[in-house]
Amino acid sequence: MFAKNVGRPTREAYGDEILELGKENPDFYIVDCDIGKSCKTVEFAKQFPEQHVNVGIAEQNACGVAAGLASCGKLPFVTTYAVFGSMRMSEQIRQEICYPKLNVKIACSHGGLTPANDGASHQGIEDMGILRTLPNMTVVNGCDYYSTRKLVRAAAEYKGPVYLRFTRDAVPFIYDGTEDFQIGKAKEIKAGMDITIIANGDIMSRAYEAADILEAEGISVRLLDMHTIKPLDKEAVVKAIMDTGRIITVEDHNIINGLGSAVCEVAAESGSGKVVRIGIQDHFGESAPYERLLDKNGISVQNIITKARELLQES
């Protein structure tokens, strides 16, 4: 149901889904870092005050509190911004959550370039790469409101640490709410045999629009929503290599150690295919409107189309 100019922020999907989870499970907890308004946990705190813990601006402490709750059989979701959830808390996540493999979820809004005018200090463009290196950690990034709601629920049902990334800005609807999502299993949005585009998160709509334009030129495009970058759906990547031989990855993240790197690892191990990575080119962000920042980093419809044409001309 791709609707280019209609959508909602994925942080709102998080806020809506945790209300349902709170109603269903008295052991479901939110551990807040005093930014409930931005991360959409205010209504949860109102409806379920006994299941809500606000530790203040103390992310490392939030991690320890969540670990303690999980060790007592509770299901805690630590909620903060991506820059803090992946970096300020990284040692605590490693030592207190991943090492003992506790059932704690790290749910972070403002991932990637969506903090925009807030600048480099608030743009978490390294978060998924950092977290995917930790043993026992699962890393998930939904691409729209509906998929994110399903993936938040899937994370709640999944046993073990999970990192969830959300957007501040509204992103277009890709799905209609009837789709099922499984952690670690890519969604094929379009079937194609000439070239594969693999994307996730807030820029999926740009990948979708590029695929539509390429298809209008007679190019058969496979479009995959790789919402889970760890564990990566290796089977889907290998199949794309075998069927199309050419892959473009698109992400709102540093191209180092993110989606593109994960796909390249599989391609290298398979010994075939070619991968072109589109994303942030290993530098910090800057203050500017969100759409302008994406374009400046080549995360644009036109650049995806250009790279696709170049790949096809090489064969």
Polymer length of the chain: 315
The residue assigned the tokens 């729209």 is 144
User: Catalytic residue at 96?
Assistant: no
Please state, in angstroms and rounded to a whole number, the distance separating the CA atoms of residues 251 and 274. 17
* C-alpha R_g of the chain: 19
| Residue 20 neighbours by CB distance under 10 Å | 14
Percentages of the chain per state (helix, strand, coil), in multiples of 5: 45, 25, 30
First CA to last CA distance, the chain: 33
Residues 238 and 272: beta-carbon distance below 8 Å: no
Task: Classify the C-alpha dihedral 156-158-160-162 as positive or negative.
Answer: negative
Please state, in angstroms and rounded to a whole number, the distance separating the CA atoms of residues 4 and 113. 19
The pair of structure tokens assigned to 4 is 């280019």
Crossing angle between the packed helical segments 234-244 and 259-270, to the nearest 10 degrees: 60
Crossing angle between the packed helical segments 145-157 and 10-24, to the nearest 10 degrees: 40
Residues 209 and 301: beta-carbon distance below 8 Å: yes
The residue assigned the tokens 């100019």 is 5
Which candidate in 12, 17, 24, 59 is catalytic?
59
Phi and psi angles of residue 288, each rounded to the nearest 5 degrees, phi first: -175, 165
User: So which residues are the catalytic ones?
Assistant: 59
